[in-house]
């Protein structure tokens, strides 16, 4: 199945049109999220998502196919063996059921947060209210100068493409921000793959816009916990790490093209 980037277009329009809304009309929040009005402006790159193969790719307008960030991170993640062991232990049917429940929840939370930072009204399902309110409370205090929401980008350097949840200032620092839902408490040592994912988007921001991202931010909600887990890492070390991982992956796959560090 080949999907156009219509979702990215819709998110782009939501973000850019939010300037005309009054704070009173945004019933979802008492805070009006500011949107970045400087240069550069966010662009639509005309990417087309292709899920027809063994892994997801994005195609640029000139037909170049780049592996998705999530597919690449899944390949190099140290936790994929543990995930397969868990699937084997609980059985394929139960593993698929649990995964679908988690995916549905994550999608609902992401959609609600997209509308929130776009200053657009949205009514989230009752079952996800607590997690949403937990994220919303922190977002209202810390997120500003929204640059782009659900933003599709690609990198010629990494030969990857993907979609960043949110690019904005977090506590006054330019950040790649990702919302995560979890059934258990996680710690920094558990989430290297998340930071590697966000580092890809930071490289793309530098490559496509010349913007240096200061930090990578994970806003995580754990089922049943009213407190949000916040993980913040400086961007540059992770950007260098993802280039290193991509180089190693390219050489393993027979490519001799080495990427330079940022």
Q: Strands 57-59 and 65-68: what pairing?
A: antiparallel
Element (H, E) at 180: strand 173-182
233 falls in which pLDDT band (50, 70, 90)? very high
Predicted confidence (pLDDT) at residue 144 exceeds the cutoff of 60: yes
| CB distance 200 to 162 below 8 Å | yes
Domain ranges of the chain: 2-252
What is 2-252's CATH topology?
Lambda Exonuclease; Chain A (3.90.320)
Q: Within 10 Å of residue 220's Cβ, how many Cβ atoms?
A: 21
Helix and strand tally (H, E) in the chain?
Answer: 7, 9
Name, in order, each residue with C-beta under 8 angstroms of 249's C-beta and a sequence gap of 6 or more: 72, 75, 76
What the block records as the tokens of 20 is 């005309």
Whole-number pLDDT of residue 98 = 63
Whole-number pLDDT of residue 87 = 63
* Total residues found in the chain within this entry: 262
Report pLDDT digits (tens) over 12-58: 334 443 333 333 333 446 789 999 999 999 999 999 999 998 899 99
256 falls in which pLDDT band (50, 70, 90)? very low
Structure-derived torsion over alpha carbons of residues 83, 84, 88, 94, reported in degrees to the nearest 10? 50
| CB distance 178 to 219 below 8 Å | yes
């Amino acid at each position: 199945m080949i999907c156009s980037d219509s979702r990215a277009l819709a998110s782009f329009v939501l973000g850019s049109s939010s300037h005309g809304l009054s704070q009173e009309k945004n019933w979802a929040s008492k805070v009006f999220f500011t949107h970045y009005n400087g240069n550069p402006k966010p662009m639509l790159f005309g990417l087309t998502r292709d899920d027809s193969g063994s892994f997801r790719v994005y195609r640029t307008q000139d037909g170049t196919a780049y592996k998705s960030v999530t597919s690449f991170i899944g390949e190099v993640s140290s936790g994929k063996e543990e995930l397969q062991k868990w699937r084997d232990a609980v059985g394929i049917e139960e593993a698929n059921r649990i995964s679908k429940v988690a995916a549905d929840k994550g999608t609902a939370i992401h959609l609600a947060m997209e509308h929130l930072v776009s200053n657009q009204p949205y009514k989230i399902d009752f079952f996800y209210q607590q997690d949403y309110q937990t994220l919303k409370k922190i977002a209202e205090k810390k997120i500003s100068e929204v640059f782009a929401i659900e933003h599709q980008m690609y990198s010629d350097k990494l030969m990857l493409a993907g979609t960043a949840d949110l690019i904005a200032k977090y506590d006054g620092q330019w950040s790649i921000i990702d919302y995560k839902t979890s059934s258990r408490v996680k710690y920094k040592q558990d989430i290297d793959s998340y930071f590697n994912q966000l580092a890809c988007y930071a490289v793309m921001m530098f490559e496509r816009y010349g913007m240096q991202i200061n930090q990578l931010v994970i806003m995580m909600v754990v089922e049943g916990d009213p407190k949000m887990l916040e993980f913040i890492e400086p961007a540059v070390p992770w950007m260098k790490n993802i280039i290193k991982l991509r180089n190693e992956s390219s050489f393993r796959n027979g490519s001799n093209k080495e990427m330079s560090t940022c």
